[in-house]
A and B are shown apart, each in its own frame.
Chain A
Amino acid sequence: MIKAILIFNNHGKPRMSKFYEHYTEDTEQQIIRETFHLVSKRDENVCNFLEGGLLIGGSENKLIYRHYATLYFVFCVDSSESELGILDLIQVFVETLDKCFENVCELDLIFHLDKVHNILAEMVMGGMVLETNMSEIITQVEAQGKMEKSETLTLLFICQSMRQSQASRFSSKIS
């Protein structure tokens, strides 16, 4: 089971955190700090696995992470998950973000936190993997995007038609 998914940048600023087990808000922040501390001091080119910090269960759990440019993607998992499998999953997640945001960068995650959560929710649910097929995930996200758009468009349309009707009234007066 996946216990937590954390994204933070090279300075340890959290960019997204999702816990699949209950912790107090305080502990969650401590876990993020502890994890950053553990992961950031590792060299590049060492392996992508390490034992979890004390707060998240110590050696019972593993941290599996990837470092992309300015961001660390860390999955904290128990022994029932395949390490390499999770590494692939992180890749799928990042590739999906990249497709959805077109060249994803840290700023996208900052300003669209809700969408990052939505994308993740299409992949992982309650700590278990829901879907690994990227095109399936993107289809779902796109469908949501469309729904969102149609809702904002309806709103726009109403506004516009109101404005138009007012404008036509003005024009009728002028003419």
Chain B
Amino acid sequence: MPAVSKGDGMRGLAVFISDIRNCKSKEAEIKRINKELANIRSKFKGDKALDGYSKKKYVCKLLFIFLLGHDIDFGHMEAVNLLSSNKYTEKQIGYLFISVLVNSNSELIRLINNAIKNDLSSRNPTFMCLALHCIANVGSREMAEAFAGEIPRILVAGDTMDSVKQSAALCLLRLYKTSPDLVLMGEWTSRVVHLLNDQHMGVVTAAISLITCLSQKNPDEFKTCVSLAVSRLSRIVSSASTDLQDYTYYFVPAPWLSCKLLRLLQCYPPPEDGAVKGRLVECLETILNKAQEPPKSKKVQHSNAKNAILFEAISLIIHYDSEPNLLVRACNQLGQFLQHRETNLRYLALESMCTLASSEFSHEAVKTHIETVINALKTERDVSVRQRAADLLYAMCDRSNAKQIVAEMLSYLETADYSIREEMVLKVAILAEKYAVDYSWYVDTILNLIRIAGDYVSEEVWYRVIQIVINRDDVQGYAAKTVFEALQAPACHENMVKVGGYILGEFGNLIAGDPRSSPLVQFNLLHSKFHLCSVPTRALLLSAYIKFINLFPETKSTIQEVLRSDSQIRNSDVELQQRAVEYLKLSSIASTDVLATVLEEMPPFPERESSILAKLKKKKGPGAVSVNELEEGKREGGELNGGGERGGDSSSTPSPSADLLGLRAGPPVTAAAPSAGSLLVDVFSEAGVNDDGFLSEFSRFVCKNNGVLFENQLLQIGIKSEYRQNLGRMYLFYGNKTSVQFVTFTTTLNVQAKPVEPLIEGGAQVQQVINIECLTDFSDAPLLNIKFRYGGALQNLTLKLPVTINKFFQPTEMASHDFFQRWKQLSLPQQEAQKIFKANHAMDTEVLKAKLLGLGMALLENVDPNPENFVCAGVIQTKAQQVGSLLRLEPNAQAQMYRLTVRSSKDTVSKRLCELLAEQF
């Protein structure tokens, strides 16, 4: 007899499901569903009390509708009512509804908690299990508050049924995860640990998850679990395949539990007690031995279960990293798996070997498999496996095999799947940098990288090659020669043009002796690419041209001609136009000496963590790349940034050319100008700092104009804005962080905005300009709605644009006397707004000053009799009127409090300014 009887189902439900399945179109389906929803709603709302059976039927229908992806916004109350039924079937369906359609509706939670409380005290094991399941599924804070005290009692009570104990263990785990502060294990610790000895294997299975989690958080308190786990494991491993009866899975005794025990042991260092350790080593050896025995069954499940344990054992051996004998055996075993016909095993072997490669005992042993791994990268049909192979090559790379591995990765890159190209590029770039012995190899590798996979070479990669070339004078000539050759290709990637432009602009003179690369040839080559490039690259090229004028005076007239042409000097892009005008002027009025000083070679970059490594870390999440990797790289790879080798003359004084190009209206944040050394740093730091919550982003922009407004896994939105009088212009940069296109990208705004490109390529960025005019004072920020498709899914985002009233401030300088006179003039009660609030940040005078300046008002010195206080004055420019405002901020360092007073000629303005500012300090 089947355990689930099919015949007694609910007819109405079956009919409804059949109807849906017979629907020919999506519209018909939606129509049928809406009809049913209306029907159920009217039944629930109707006067007639429904019997349990009908309620159950309707709730089942709702579940089905929910699965099809439709919102269910009613029925919760009916489900809650079912909980208090005495009938198992009704109670159960009620719990099911609640656990599938969890709703943190607080009123309902209270009712649900009541029902749960009743069921927990019912002493009916089935009801208790249902209630525990519900807690574990919803796991909200309110539930934790209500039951965190009760559940440990149920878990360790002597008379609790095994099935209830199992549920209680996992329920407690769930509550511990959501509200660790409410689950106090203190008195229960030892009894919970002893569940590892429980007779019932199901109880052990459930309890071990709980114990593992608790051990990770409080390793010391749960230390005793190690010896218990070892003895349990040893009993399982040494048991005959029939000893454990039902827990034997395809002739393997308790595979799941064995895996979990081995995982638990990975929370701890090797046992100190010799006897325990001996027993454990024995277990691990037995597991390794068993792998060599002939299989007891041909079924894949048998080998799966056996290997699941084996892989966990190997992980534990790698984790201990102290038994060379076991490590070598583990490595050999993995080596066997690398060539196994089961794809799953090859995948897992590659993955485990990655961790093994970092152990000093086994690194050499892992390296012996290099050919197999390279072969896997070339021939595996499955991209998941190829990806693991690439990871392993990366992990096993050291100085001895770097050239081979990098070459293989480069050649794989030509055919690699799009999904992993970006990561591959980063890895190649890091390995090339880390193990570069001669830098010509490094330069070759990176240029190859750009040639093969230019689209996937992120800015960090080409910034880095430039940093290294600048910092190492032994490679500069070679780099210039190589980029010059690479640029000869009729079609070369824009990133190549960027690198070429930068390097030739700095070091073109090193190859100018050869008539084949004379100054004019170099210039013509670069300029032949100019028209195919985007604005930021053109801007970079213009800077390269002005550098040429300094390097090669003979090119001056040709270049001036180019700069003077309408397409440059009247270019519609402000940035290009500005550069053309300024460079032209500079080249014609400055003397050779001045020019030589202004356009001096870039000073070496300060040493810092490789930006590429930072990017890979970010991409793979913490832990994926070991932190000391960079240190290692330094140790092995020598000083990459070796600034010391160059004359230290200019390294401390900022180069004047950096100032020249760091002008206010710089290019978009991503487009680094050739000499924008300082900009480079900003870009990196900005990309890294983004742990503030999304809500606070808005308020961060009150005192600044540029930065990252929003970032999630898909999209990054950067902002650059400038304001003058009552006008403003905001540049929004939408960066696609994925490798997939965003299509039908639209933004809507209740302010005039130029339309944005409807398509954002993977990894690309588009820009949108918004012109802003302040008509009158306001307190609500404009909302920006962004919609686009990523993959198939529609993404919808609404953001507050950080346009605040203070952006339209004109600073007003005034003397003490004037200030107080005006202060008195604004003495009507509604003209003043005041707030007293606690300091959120350290009360640093300089930081405060910077923030107040960022606000846009003039910071007036020597006005307030108390030097601790700050006073500011400014006029807000709107089209309708001008609103003069005065501000006084009084910090109280002892109380860590501020008093903020704002007076202005318009009451709404005072209020809004006060609100905005109170969040800032």
Residues of A within 8 A of B (CB): 14-18, 20, 22, 25, 29-30, 32-34, 37, 42-43, 45-51, 54-55, 58-60, 80, 82-85, 87-89, 91-92, 99-102, 108, 110-115, 117-119, 121, 125-136, 138, 140-145, 147-149, 151-152, 155
A88 touching B171 in the complex, CB below 8 Å, given contacts A47-B343, A51-B384, A145-B4: no
By a CB distance below 8 angstroms, the chain B residues around A58 are 621, 713
Is B49's CB within 8 Å of the partner chain A? Answer: no
A59 to chain B minimum Cβ distance, whole angstroms, is 6
By a CB distance below 8 angstroms, the chain A residues around B587 are none
> What's the Cα separation between A25 and B67 when bound, in Å?
10
Contact A47 B92 (CB under 8 A): no
From B92, B100, B202, A144 is in contact (CB under 8 Å) with B92
Contact A85 B259 (CB under 8 A): yes
> What's the Cα separation between A81 and B174 when bound, in Å?
16
Q: Closest B residue to A98 by CB, please name it.
A: B2
From A45, A85, A119, A148, B255 is in contact (CB under 8 Å) with A85
Contact A130 B206 (CB under 8 A): yes
> What's the Cα separation between A151 and B166 when bound, in Å?
26
**A-B CB contact pairs (8 Å), 16 listed:** A34-B793, A43-B381, A47-B346, A48-B344, A111-B9, A113-B67, A121-B133, A125-B171, A126-B137, A126-B139, A131-B202, A132-B256, A145-B3, A148-B5, A152-B8, A152-B89
> What's the Cα separation between A38 and B60 when bound, in Å?
30
Q: How many residues of B contact A (CB 8 A)?
A: 81
Q: Closest A residue to B257 by CB, please name it.
A: A132
Q: Which of B14, B308, B713, B793 has the most CB of A within 10 A?
A: B793
Contact B738 A54 (CB under 8 A): yes
From B4, B9, B257, A100 is in contact (CB under 8 Å) with B4
Contact A14 B133 (CB under 8 A): no
Interface bits B377-401 vs A (CB < 8 Å: 1, else 0): 0000110110100000000000000
> What's the Cα separation between A132 and B9 when bound, in Å?
28
> What's the Cα separation between A138 and B2 when bound, in Å?
10
Contact A113 B171 (CB under 8 A): no
> What's the Cα separation between A121 and B100 when bound, in Å?
11
> What's the Cα separation between A101 and B2 when bound, in Å?
6
Is B312's CB within 8 Å of the partner chain A? Answer: yes
B168 to chain A minimum Cβ distance, whole angstroms, is 10
Contact A114 B88 (CB under 8 A): no
> What's the Cα separation between A17 and B66 when bound, in Å?
10
Contact A84 B166 (CB under 8 A): no
A84 touching B305 in the complex, CB below 8 Å, given contacts A49-B384, A99-B3: yes
Contact B382 A140 (CB under 8 A): no
B739 to chain A minimum Cβ distance, whole angstroms, is 11
Contact B382 A126 (CB under 8 A): no
Task: For chain B, residues 57 to 97, give those with C-beta under 8 angstroms from any C-beta of chain A.
Answer: 60, 63-64, 66-69, 71, 87-89, 92-93, 96
> What's the Cα separation between A133 and B256 when bound, in Å?
10
Interface bits B194-220 vs A (CB < 8 Å: 1, else 0): 000000011001100100100000000
By a CB distance below 8 angstroms, the chain B residues around A54 are 713-714, 738
Contact B9 A136 (CB under 8 A): no
Is B576's CB within 8 Å of the partner chain A? Answer: no
By a CB distance below 8 angstroms, the chain B residues around A127 are 174
Interface bits B284-320 vs A (CB < 8 Å: 1, else 0): 0000000000000000010011011001100000000
Task: For chain B, residues 455 to 476, give those with C-beta under 8 angstroms from any C-beta of chain A.
Answer: none
A125 touching B136 in the complex, CB below 8 Å, given contacts A30-B793, A58-B713, A84-B311: yes
> What's the Cα separation between A86 and B167 when bound, in Å?
20
Contacts beyond the supplied A126-B174, A130-B202, A133-B246: 10 A-B pairs with Cβ under 8 Å: A47-B384, A111-B6, A113-B67, A125-B174, A127-B174, A128-B173, A136-B246, A147-B89, A148-B89, A149-B5
From A16, A88, A128, A135, B67 is in contact (CB under 8 Å) with A16
By a CB distance below 8 angstroms, the chain A residues around B137 are 20, 125-126
Contact A47 B385 (CB under 8 A): yes
> What's the Cα separation between A102 and B3 when bound, in Å?
8
Contact B259 A82 (CB under 8 A): yes
> What's the Cα separation between A46 and B381 when bound, in Å?
7
Contact A141 B4 (CB under 8 A): yes
User: 8 nearest interchain CB pairs?
Assistant: A126-B136, A84-B308, A46-B382, A126-B174, A47-B343, A102-B2, A100-B3, A128-B209
Q: Closest B residue to A134 by CB, please name it.
A: B246
> What's the Cα separation between A76 and B591 when bound, in Å?
68
A132 touching B249 in the complex, CB below 8 Å, given contacts A60-B621, A87-B304: yes
Contact B246 A135 (CB under 8 A): yes
Contact B348 A112 (CB under 8 A): no
Contact B9 A88 (CB under 8 A): no
Contact B17 A37 (CB under 8 A): no
A14 touching B68 in the complex, CB below 8 Å, given contacts A37-B792, A143-B126: yes
Q: Closest B residue to A16 by CB, please name it.
A: B67
Q: Which of A25, A85, A88, A101 has the most CB of B within 10 A?
A: A85
